[in-house]
Amino acid sequence: MKLLDHVDDELAALARDARHVAVLSGAGISAESGVPTFREVQTGLWEQFSAEDLATPDAFDDDPALVWTWYRWRQSLVQAVEPNPGHLALARWQKQLTETGGGLSISTQNVDDLHERAGAEVLAHLHGNIAAHRCTDCGASVQLPAPGYDGFEAPPEAEGPPACERCATGLIRPDIVWFGEALPMDAFEATMAAIRAADLVVVVGTSGIVQPAAGLPLLALERGTPLVEVNPQETELSETMDFVLRGPSGQMLPTLLETIS
């Protein structure tokens, strides 16, 4: 493992030669934009609840209004921030590789849409998308307007989720993965295929703790594909990496892109 605080010539050459790059992103890159992490949003009106009180199917069954309002509030927090230079650098890198016959896939554990707003195409949202919704009974996808919470630490009163207009029996829930639920298999399989087809894998802002997504970078080890981590903190994955850029993605990724452009 080569620990770096800058992009050296060896890493720059590796990135420059890569034609198929697989990127895995986690909470760290979104936190740099001001998106609170899962634990940080349990403040104010929500500090009396644990994650298990708010992010499980049982919690939604027991108190749908409480869980629905918490997630709509979280959605409003995401809407209030913008992509940071790390998101923008990945979007530019993806565009450059696509224009020259290569490709860069992005699979994210984040439930926000900051990669898309930066101009990138996302292969997989491994934990779902907080702005997407579906019916608990028939599974129909539902488009809803933005929550519009503004100026509140949290919504002042709980709001019940709407009923599904298609089946009339189910309630609308966030289309995200709750504790105890399986990851969407199509997203997971697409990410595995992208990693196995890549000649460079870049892991950005993920702690390497949340399974099974944390094990995905290890697929690169099967083929000897170089692994690069971008994170200001040491993680569970750091020791398995070939290169570790020890710094924020909003600083390190633009610098990496400059060296290969």
What pLDDT, in 10s, does the model give residues 102-157? 999 999 999 999 999 999 999 999 999 999 999 999 999 999 988 876 655 666 67
**Domain boundary at 118, 142, 176, which?**
176
Predicted pLDDT at 108? 97
Both 74 and 168 in one domain: the answer is yes
- pLDDT for residue 213 is more than 90: no
> pLDDT category, 43, cuts 50, 70, 90?
low
DSSP 3-state assignment of 251? helix
**Domain boundary at 176, 211, 233, which?**
176
Dihedral sign of CA atoms 153, 59, 185, 143 in order:
negative
Predicted pLDDT at 49? 75
Both 220 and 254 in one domain: the answer is yes
Residue 149 annotated as binding? no
Whether 127 is a known active-site residue: answer: yes
**Domain boundary at 176, 192, 211, which?**
176
The residue whose two tokens read 């979104």 is: 30
Q: Specify the length of the chain in residues.
A: 261
Predicted pLDDT at 148? 74
Both 249 and 215 in one domain: the answer is yes
Both 150 and 247 in one domain: the answer is no
pTM of the complete model beyond 0.75: yes
Residue 58 annotated as binding? no
Residue 238 annotated as binding? no
Rounded mean pLDDT of the chain?
A: 91
- Give mean pLDDT, residues 182-204: 96
Question: What distance lies between CA 247 and its chain's CA centroid?
Answer: 18
How far is Cα 104 from Cα 86, in angstroms, rounded to an integer?
Answer: 14
Split into its structural domains, the chain has a count of 2
| CATH code assigned at 159 | 3.30.1600.10
Question: What range does the domain containing 58 cover?
Answer: 36-80+131-176
Predicted pLDDT at 118? 98
Both 40 and 142 in one domain: the answer is yes
Predicted pLDDT at 46? 59
